[in-house]
Amino acid sequence: MYDGNFSLWCDFVERDFIGGEFKELLNNQTINGATSNPSIFKSAILNSSAYLKQKEDFKHKKAKDLYEILATTDIKLAAQAMLKNFANKDDGFISIEVDPNLSDNANATYEEGKRLYGKIAMPNVMIKIPATEAGFEAMSDLMSKGVNINATLIFSPTQTKKCLDAFQSGTEKFKKRFLNADLPQGVISVFVSRFDRLMDDKFNELGIEKSKLGIYNATKCYHLIQEANLPNVRTLFASTGVKGDDLKASYYIDELMFKNAINTAPLETIKAFLEKKQEIKEPANQKILDEYFANLEKNEICMKDVYSKLLSDGLNQFEIAFDEILKSLK
């Protein structure tokens, strides 16, 4: 763990990596958690030879069942590697996402999340659920049963508030059911860099500073989470890798090193971050944020449209990746 209760997690999972470099990063306290998503598993399962034997052993299984065998094996191995962190209350969590095609079905999301959590059977696993209307319901229901939740694809303050409501509701139900038990943990994964990739060209035309929207929007969401003061919920900044050479590789980690926050980043981004010691930063205050977004409104930038597009694109990207995994396993 870094100063100010800032945590760094690795946004990458792959069988050989878990058995090698991942353990080194944990042992030297570079990272203390990890995340996965369908795009990460697509790259790993389709391109790594580490899965060939297990694919062959279970080739008679249906595609989704085979995928779950491969993915849950990785998640369990990673969770086992981080049990020391978890026992020391130094995070130690790994996330696995439910089938993104279920994002509009609360009951199916809940049932799959419960099944995956039970199948992996590790206390330091988080079930990752997209922040849709159905997702909020499933998050609350799962947390009420003691399941740790990673709410993903958060772009807007509205989504953030709904996640907080879902987590608070689920936690209260859990506390009534399980007196004096450790609370299930939740993270709200606020996506960052996708804002700038979408809007920087437009901002360049308008004379608006580039590569700030993602940071300031994430900061708005961070303030909401901090103000809610839920003891078992933290902000997780996601989508923090950069594209191209315009920005320093660790830009989105450096700028979002806030107290009590987590940043999950690709391996190459983490390595760039480690090249220079960084200090905990004070987030921009509400006045600065209000002025920034008021200026966007003056320039006819509709943030509601931006949020809607990014959520739609994010869901679509994960659905495509998930479907391509299943197609390759048939």
Looking at the annotation, which residues are catalytic? 128
For residue 285, give the 3-state DSSP assignment: coil
Q: Which residues of 160-185 are buried (b: 16+ CB within 10 A; e: fewer)?
A: bebbbebbbbbbeebeeeeeeeebbb
Radius of gyration of the chain from its Cα atoms, rounded to whole angstroms? 19
**Of 45, 74, 75, 37, residue with least CA distance to 330:** 45
Q: Which residue has the tokens 């008021």?
A: 294
245/164 Cα distance (integer angstroms):
36
Query: How many Cα atoms within 13 Å fall on the side-chain side of residue 199?
Result: 28
Q: Write out the H or E segment, with its range, that includes residue 235.
A: strand 233-238
SS3 state at 315: helix
Q: How many whole angstroms from its chain centre is CA 111?
A: 20
The CA-based angle 108-112-234, given to 5 degrees, is: 105
Give, for 190, the enclosing helix (H) or strand (E): strand 186-191
Contact 52, 26 (CB under 8 A): no
H/E stretch holding 150: strand 148-154
